[in-house]
Structure 1
């Protein structure tokens, strides 16, 4: 095969495929990184609805690969499928970006455009997902097994490199760039759209170098017909017919032995995939539950740990950990790697549980049923006594500018929830007869005499000099000090000896758990991902017949879809506290891992390339029964040998 890198067996065409994947993943994860916060802060949905829609979208992204695989393997081929569905992908991004422009219409219009955009994106990204990985594997000659294995690691690193950069850049575009009077979601969604256009252009640019496998016809329909014929034949034939070794062998009268053997290979793998969605149910909560957890923590650095750790862990595992384990005479098969990855993911959720237990300590609980939180603010200048009929709540005098309430916490009864984006809330109480205007960062507060401003979100930081205009005249700059993550503040403006004074009251305590405590759970989930996801990607390719590479890749991706369905069911139906939910997921994954490990013990690795050596254009009709039996025996021997292509 021509067009190789100098001195290597790597085809030059994979450069275009890897760059295409980098740009496509940048566009996908860049958009997805903002999705939960977009739902909560822009569309004003609650946490559970935002989580549900997030995982419904993720599920759709991983259900649609089966459609892309069918189009590629049966009709257009992988190359054309990637191009056409990438165009759909770009249109979805554009519609999603337009839906984030405030001037486009009311909230219903934004919701409608966002949902249409997300559906198109799901069909685009899902449709090309099984094709790109399989198309990359197709670029290697059969004898270059080692190079192909390394390609999947490089391919996965390009995915996470795109994810890493996007999770740094798109939040900056959203928060640091202001447009339409607020956070610029339209720009933050528009840049991923531009990257998807670049991905499409790069992929087309390499068209002259690609090795293309032509479509094989409607292979899935043929597979379904073969399975249906085997089942029908099995139950309608006479009981005196000789028994078959496998139930699919009942289709041998009508279908080639090669096809029957290929279906057996695929079904063995698909059955093995049944327990796997539980891993993805945990893994994909990084973008929903873990994101919401981090907004209630003291966020001192950007949330990009998973992608960053992937770039570090992949070479460490490939070059150090796996070779060291091999030196210890431990046979690390792909399925054992995947089972170990599941254990790491379960441990990650145990760590998340411990973090969540500490995070909720700064969250204010609402008043019990038929009760309320009473807050008293003393502006009289002297201590006052307050007595309520039939109550001893305020037994001690209330000092000047002290907030007291029935719960013993400094809280505001109309805003006791923490900000969904992690930043502080701020409001001003103007006790002066004249109007006051203040500017805190980019937020402007306007109050008439004797009034309270609404709660507004401000960026976390120090505010030693806040601009103030009082009665059309500039007043001394006010020192608000640190406005910290997750806190809610009321600043009381008073006049003392002709000067305006600002007394800051803490209504809701700031987050006191540093976001660095999320590092252990990200380290564990990433280690699990390296062992589970990369191995599963290459395993799905190596164990698939040549004409069903995309179909089995789609089967692998379907496990991700069903994992998100599990999260939808639990998030919407269980109604558990967050730490209890995390612990439940960890326990479920451990149980599933045990089941998967038992199933893996009975799996025999196969080399699909042996099919070409064993079956010679279905010669069974021209050979006698003895020759057919010999050929079947040689097939069983060949297929029982462990495949060299399953070692990473």
Structure 2
């Protein structure tokens, strides 16, 4: 049953992906066909990419609101989040169809991709069939397809393969760029999203990318690029793309630094044959706690005042997967020994309580993985002699048993909780829980004050996220600037360098590099075995290596002028035909 559901999801994703690629590839070629001058074509690709990001900006900001802020049958409204974009797509289709008479329509010429593949395959196979030394060599390996395919097609495929060679390193850039919607968003869930004037959803940070792209495209086209040209610097398309790679490298270096800072704030995680122990003293006086080893040696010693806990949780090492620990408790003139069993990779809290004139302890197993998703989690210890029912609002309630009963964890929204309604079998009262902050996990101890009635004592099991989500802004600025320099320029470069018959093939190859980039992300995540910040550094270093390779390849690439490509063969001048045939590779600047 599960497999069938997964297959359905994959089918739906495939249905969504197929028209997206069709639309992007066709719109790119169609717009380029309508642009006859180089400056006009460059402007078109900038506006085209700008319009894509304008739509992305709207959807990235509005969709989380439609999903989270609107309720459907008491849950997040995914139907509305998908339905509204679907309706807008229908409207866009109608508007697009209304302008049909103004479009320059080029009739299809068959499956060009298939022709290219067949031509290349025939040239390779024919070359190996005729490897005898008696057969004269040919200037280019694609010339071996001349027995079957026309000269014009072979020349076009030669020009195509020159550009495709430059595409080999490009997927690594997309491997970095496409992580904004996954790993960067996961990073945002572990940060403080309260900016004072607004509380952001983790996925709403993604709105920065299209917003910055909308700002950077006119900024680069109208200010930065002209300024660089006035300084006498030849800022070619390949050079722009290379700088875009460097900016993406820097962005991931910043991501790694932010990840390290977040990890420094995180509590320790127990590994194999380890536990993390916290001690909570609910007695009315100071208690000295000692954790004893097999030879009665003290593994941990701590003095804890009344209604306090250890300053920091402590890691204890086990000899096996489970083990019994003996605890020595000194309270006033009393000395108490108690024993508790623990298991590896767990969090525990030793709760010390008053028991008449004596003291006793209980070991509470904490939740192993409390996923707050930027919310906050709470649990209660009830020292009263009667069960307490607690209402945390929004249909969230829990019951805590009498005489030091411990509740389960409950995840609630962040904010102030000055009056939380509580009820026992014969009394109603309110508790002031104070501020419940981002990502924090709190323990509340309900006690009885003779004069003021039930009160609550608050402590943090896991501290709140202190790293503001605003620290993601530098990485978004860098990667968005890199995207403008790499992607917008790459689209225009791909169109300008492709022969007329090969423009659709080259655009398809450009989109394919994006897909390969996503595969690289999956492969690294599956096989690297690195912690998250180390993976970010790995991606940054890999792209730096790709930048060096791409720079060397671009140095030896000879750009083809657009007017030479667009002219039919019989109208080209002799020296142009010679250049296209021999595909000279003299050195040129990147």
Moved more, 266-275 or 606-615: 606-615
Cα 1:571–1:331 change in 2 (3 A) is same
SS in 2 for 1:489: strand
> What is the aligned partner in structure 1 of residue 152 from structure 2?
258
In structure 2, do the counterparts of structure 1 residues 242 and 372 end up closer, same or farther at CA, with 3 Å as the change threshold? closer
| Residue in structure 1 matched with residue 70 of structure 2 by the alignment | 177
Whether the aligned pair in 2 keeps the contact of 1:385 and 1:394 (CA below 8 Å) is no
Counterparts in 2 of 1:411-560, with a 5 A limit?
Answer: 413-415=365-367, 417=369, 419=371, 421-450=373-402, 451-471=405-425, 474-476=428-430, 478-497=431-450, 499-560=453-514
Cα gap change, 1:520 to 1:366, in 2 (>3 Å): same
The reply to whether residue 571 of structure 1 matches residue 466 of structure 2 is no
8 Å contact from structure 2 (residues 191, 465) kept in 1: yes
SS in 2 for 1:211: coil
* Structure 1 residue 527: Cα displacement: 1.1
Name the counterpart of 1:72: none
Shift of 1:112: 5.3
Of 310, 316, 323, the match for 2:226: 323
Measured in 2, the distance between the counterparts of 1:359 and 1:631 equals: 63
Partner SS state of residue 245, structure 1: coil
Taking a change above 3 Å as real, the CA distance of residues 634 and 588 of structure 1, as seen in their structure-2 partners, is closer
1:373 partner SS: strand
Is the contact between residue 418 and residue 487 of structure 1 (CA under 8 Å) also seen in structure 2?
no
Find the partner of 1:297 among 164, 176, 191: 191
Once the two structures are TM-superposed, the CA of residue 607 in structure 1 deviates from its matched residue by: 3.7
Aligned residue in 2 for 1:67 = none
8 Å Cα contact 2:381-2:444 kept in structure 1: yes
Q: CA deviation at 1:512?
A: 1.6
Count of matched residue pairs: 522
- Cα contact 1:337–1:535 (8 A) shared by 2: yes
My pick for the range that moved more, 152-161 or 424-433, is 424-433
Runs of 5+ consecutive residues of structure 2 not aligned to the other structure:
195-199, 316-346, 350-364, 585-590
Find the counterpart in structure 1 of residue 110 from structure 2: 217
**Compared CA separation, residues 336 and 612, structure 1 to 2 (3 A):** closer
Query: Shift of residue 211 of structure 1?
Result: 2.0
The answer to whether the aligner puts 1:635 opposite 2:588 as a matched pair is: no
Corresponding residue of 2:262: 359
Give yes or no for contact 2:174–2:513 (8 Å, CA) kept in 1: yes
CA distance, structure 2, for counterparts of residue 288 and residue 503 of structure 1: 38
TM-score by length of 2: 0.81
**CA–CA separation in structure 1 for the residues paired with 2:582 and 2:490:** 20
Q: In 2, are the aligned partners of 1:356 and 1:579 still within 8 Å (CA)? A: yes
Higher Rg of the two aligned structures: 2
Does the C-alpha gap of structure 1 residues 396 and 638 become closer, same or farther in structure 2, counting only changes over 3 Å? Answer: closer
Q: Which runs of 5+ in 1 are unaligned?
A: 1-105, 618-629, 643-648
1:395-423 per-position Cα deviation (integer Å, ceiling 9, x unaligned): 44543333349834998653354636222
- Shift of the 151–168 alpha-carbon distance from structure 1 to 2, 3 Å rule, reads same
After alignment, is 376-385 or 329-338 more displaced?
Answer: 376-385
Matches within 5 A, 1:562-641: 562-607=516-561, 609-611=563-565, 613-616=567-570, 633-637=575-579
Q: Determine which structure has the larger helix proportion and give its number.
A: 1
Checking the alignment, whether the CA contact within 8 Å between 1:278 and 1:592 is kept in structure 2 is yes
SS of match in other structure, 2:298: coil
Partner of 1:367, secondary structure, is: coil
Q: Secondary structure at the match of 1:208?
A: helix
